[in-house]
Structure 1
Amino acid sequence: MAPLSPSKALAKLQQLQKEHEDPKKQLAILRISEPIASASDVEVPNRSPAKRSSDVSADTLDNPTPASLEADLTHYKELFSKLRFSYLEQVTKEKFLRAIVGDPPLVVGHSENVELEAQLAEAKAELQRRKEEVRVMVEEMEKMGRELARRYKNIQLQTTQLSTLPDKISNLEATIAALRAKQTINADVSPSKGSSQNLPLPATLSLLSEREAELAALNRQLATLQSTLPRKTREAEAIERELGVLERRKGEAVAQAREAKRKKREGESDGLEEMGRWYRGAEKSLKQLVGVEG
């Protein structure tokens, strides 16, 4: 099956949404409350309009929710329980009266009572079994209803998201077309620039292998440099210490030179000049002795 285009997908989605908006096809909470609501709306003769047989509000019938339906179910269970008790009471009284006023009167013996009690026990056991089956069935239906409600909410959310996808797909297709056109123009203007980006798969794998080999070589060089870093750091610290000593010596020598210059300018003699003349005279005498011309 060929994939649908964004426009066709959007049209299909809008058609599904229109069908979903149809009241006959629209999902809703179980319409089991409709017969009850319609029966309660029927006008009964000789009954006051203000008199109501139940406490179910009209709003819950118009807009049923799981909580309201559960409350209504509990309410109706109580009403049906009372009604059944009243019915059994009236039927029992009627049977008793017919039995004692009949001609001849109905007389029930002990054996018949025992037989009726046995039948009643069997009927009660069958009723309990049916009730258990109904209870299990109701639990399964409730579980299935919750699961369907969760899936329905997910479908609604996904439908909302899908309604925005065609526009996004169209924008992405336009962006891809623009990028392809731009790439083609760049390849025509400077083929060497985009040559590495337009290689076939084997050439790309080969280029990738070369880059990985270069990266491995750089990693080895980096590891070597990192191993020599502590030694270079110690050497730099030693050189810094020596530089500090030389800086101090330089400062002392500069201070001495300034002091000597000051004394010379003031006419004081610190003995350095006489010592220098003596050294120059001694140097000249030694050169004459050894025959070296100065």
Structure 2
Amino acid sequence: MAAVASSSMHVSTLAGSSLHQAVDQISSSASSGFNVLEHRDRFQERALRDVTLSSNDSAMMMDPNNPILVREEMVSQKDYFRRLKFTYLEQEAKRHFLSSIMGDEPQRVEPGENEERELTNAEKKRVLKEAKSEIDEMRAFTVRLAEDNAKKHTEMSQGLAEAQALQKQIRDMELELARIKATHPPENRMTTAQANDTLDAQIVEMERVTDALSSTQTQIDSTREEVAKVAKEVQRLSREREREEARAKEVREGREAGDTKVDEICRWYSSSMAFYRSLLGIRSVKAVSDNELHMEYEVNDGQVTLALHFDEVTKRLTDASLIGSDIDISESVGIAAGANDVAGLVADVLVRLRPV
């Protein structure tokens, strides 16, 4: 394992060094300039030598470093030759005029001389036309080559900038890797198998934590709902407590004032409830929850409990059942639930439990 790691490190080091050498070579090539720059002095010398000597306002004289001004120089030279031709014709006309005045015999044109001159001029014109065509082609090729070189230069500049940025990142990564290797010695490093095992264990742990989080969230939601219900019940009981405390205060004040009417009413109410319970055979009444009430009956066969279920919102009777007895009261429960007749259901159940 160590040999493989060292060989891979050696290969990566060689690849990094070759990459750095390539980037440095590109940078030096870009900074050294192109072949056009090396022959700039030669071009300027040739251009200045070909410039019209009698033209002081020549474009090439003003800016010999700009090859695009060659066309303007050609136009200037054509204009210069037109002026020379006009001057020649003017001088020739003067010579003929003076010869005619002074009686000198003008030079004769020998037979065939004009034809020979025409042939010579035609050949020279053909050569000149070919030279012009060649110059135009060279100019078009030069412009196209300049555009290609400019495009290549732009691409190379962009590539060079990108290569330099990558080189900087690679060097930073190499420094960071060297720092990590120095901080963590080989004996403290994990192999690929150990890393995979650790990763699998972490994935399993994450799944377990996710499931636990989901179940905890469900419990939190249910607990939040329960807390809301308890808070509402606490508010309701608080209001009832305030009312009962106010009543108790009134009773206490009345008792202190010598009024025993409330005590007599309480004793009568307690005795009436006890008599009613004994009459109906009710042993106890207990509220199991907010919407469920248990009434325990004392019968010959033992104890029977009537469980009454009420709606949480409307507080109407919704269902009832007998606990400790096999008597079917479903029909009576349906009738009582439809009419919300709790007293009728209690009486009917009592009749069924205590047949005459």
Displacement of 1:101 in angstroms is: 2.8
Indicate the SS of the match to 1:79. helix
- What percent of counterpart residues are identical? 12
Tell me the amino acid that sits aligned with residue 277 of structure 1.
R
Displacement of 1:133 in angstroms is: 5.8
Matches within 5 A, 1:265-280: 265-267=252-254, 273-280=263-270
Change (3 A) 1:245 1:101: same
Matches within 5 A, 1:157-172: 169-172=170-173
Bigger CA radius of gyration: 2
User: 1:77 is matched with which residue: 71, 74, 78?
Assistant: 74
| Corresponding residue number in structure 1 for 2:245 | 258
Change (3 A) 1:109 1:77: closer
| Corresponding residue number in structure 1 for 2:196 | 204
Alignment gaps of 5+ in structure 2: 1-13, 97-104, 284-356
Bigger strand fraction: 2
| Corresponding residue number in structure 1 for 2:177 | 176
Matches within 5 A, 1:128-167: 131=132, 134-155=135-156
Indicate the SS of the match to 2:192. coil
Residues 89-140 of structure 1 show CA distances to partners (whole Å, capped at 9, x for unaligned) of: 5667799989x9334x346799x69xx69x95x9878876775564344223
Distance 1:254 1:16 in 2: 94
Residues 37-90 of structure 1 show CA distances to partners (whole Å, capped at 9, x for unaligned) of: 3677xxx9xxxxxx96224487734xx3xxx443x3243122211123234456
| Corresponding residue number in structure 2 for 1:37 | 48
Indicate the SS of the match to 2:63. helix
Indicate the SS of the match to 2:57. coil
Tell me the amino acid that sits aligned with residue 274 of structure 1.
E
User: Which one scores higher on RCO, CA 8 angstroms, separation ≥ 6?
Assistant: 1
User: 1:86 is matched with which residue: 83, 87, 101?
Assistant: 83
Report the number of matched residues. 250
Indicate the SS of the match to 1:101. coil
Displacement of 1:288 in angstroms is: 9.2
| Corresponding residue number in structure 2 for 1:281 | 271
Tell me the amino acid that sits aligned with residue 140 of structure 2.
E
Tell me the amino acid that sits aligned with residue 82 of structure 1.
D
Displacement of 1:144 in angstroms is: 1.5
Residues 123-177 of structure 1 show CA distances to partners (whole Å, capped at 9, x for unaligned) of: 8788767755643442232122122133235545655776787776554323212
Alignment gaps of 5+ in structure 1: 45-50, 189-193
Displacement of 1:204 in angstroms is: 3.4
Distance 2:152 2:30 in 1: 20
TM-score computed with the length of structure 1 as normaliser = 0.52
Distance 1:238 1:137 in 2: 94
Distance 1:76 1:9 in 2: 46
Distance 1:171 1:29 in 2: 41
Distance 2:227 2:16 in 1: 75
Distance 1:16 1:275 in 2: 114
User: Does residue 1:20 correspond to 2:32, yes or no?
Assistant: yes
| Corresponding residue number in structure 1 for 2:17 | 5
